[in-house]
Amino acid sequence: MRGVHSYVDDIRRDVFKEVARLAYSQDDLQRVDMIPYKLVPGEIAHHLHDVFLERAVVAARVRLALGMDINPGGPRMPLSALIQEAATDQKYFEEPLVNIIPYACNSCPTKQLRITDSCQGCISHPCMNSCPVDAIYLDKDKRCHIDQNKCIKCGKCFNQCPYRAISKMERPCAMACGMDAIESDEYGRAKINYDKCVSCGQCIVNCPFGAIADKSQILQIITAIKHNEEVIACVAPAFVGQFGADATPAKLKAAMRVLGFSDVVEVAIGADLCAVEETKDFLEEVPAKQPFMGTSCCPAWSVMAKTVFPEFKDYISMALTPMVITARMVKKDHPNARICFIGPCSAKKLEANRRSVRSDVDFVLTFEELQGMFDAKKVDFKTIEFDPEDTLDEGSAMARGFAVSGGVAAAVVEAVKHIAPETEVKVQYADGLRECRKMLTIAKTGKFNGYLLEGMACPGGCVAGAGTIRPVKESAKNVENFKKEAVEVSTTASPFLDRLEEVEERD
* Average pLDDT of adjacent 10-residue blocks, the chain of 507 residues: 84 97 90 96 90 94 94 74 90 89 92 92 94 94 92 95 94 96 95 97 96 97 96 97 95 97 97 97 96 96 96 95 97 96 96 91 98 98 94 94 97 97 96 98 97 97 96 96 96 94 69
Amino acid at 191: K
pLDDT at 74: 60
How far is it, in rounded angstroms, from Cα 306 to Cα 315?
9
pLDDT at 141: 86
Give, in order, the Cα–Cα distances in Å from 79 to each of 75, 226, 270, 383: 10, 21, 39, 36
Contact between 217 and 364 (Cβ < 8 Å): yes
pLDDT at 91: 77
Which run of H or of E encompasses 427? strand 426-431
pLDDT at 72: 56
Helix axes 367-376, 249-259, angle to 10 degrees: 60
pLDDT at 356: 87
**Which 3 state secondary structure label does DSSP give 145?**
strand
CATH 3.30.70.20 domain extents, the chain: 7-107+176-215, 112-169
- CA 44, 48, 49, 55 torsion-angle sign: negative
pLDDT at 76: 74
pLDDT at 507: 46
Can you point out the beta strands (E) in 267-337?
293-294
Contact between 77 and 71 (Cβ < 8 Å): yes
DSSP letters, 20-74, are HHHHH-SS-GGGGGGHHHHHS-SSS-SSSS-HHHHHHHHHHHHHHHTT--SSBTB
pLDDT at 27: 76
How far is it, in rounded angstroms, from Cα 455 to Cα 308?
14
Return the closest-CA partner of residue 218 out of 379, 371, 43, 47: 371
**CA torsion angle 359 350 346 80 (round to 10):** -80
How far is it, in rounded angstroms, from Cα 160 to Cα 423?
48
Q: Torsion-angle region of residue 119: left (phi > 0), alpha (psi -120 to 50) or beta?
A: beta
Return the closest-CA partner of residue 266 out of 472, 502, 495, 14: 495
Question: What's the predicted TM-score (pTM) here?
Answer: 0.94
pLDDT at 377: 98
Name the pairing type of β-strands 98-100 and 212-214: antiparallel
As to burial, measured by CB atoms within 10 angstroms (0-12 exposed, 13-18 middle, 19+ buried), residue 381 is: middle
How far is it, in rounded angstroms, from Cα 13 to Cα 11?
5
Out of 3.30.70.20, 3.40.109.10, 1.10.150.20, 3.40.640.10, the CATH code matching 7-107+176-215 is: 3.30.70.20
Say how many residues make up the chain: 507
CATH class held by domain 112-169: alpha beta
Which residues, including other chains, have CB under 8 Å from residue 43's CB and lie 6 or more apart? 51
How far is it, in rounded angstroms, from Cα 346 to Cα 202?
9
Contact between 186 and 70 (Cβ < 8 Å): no
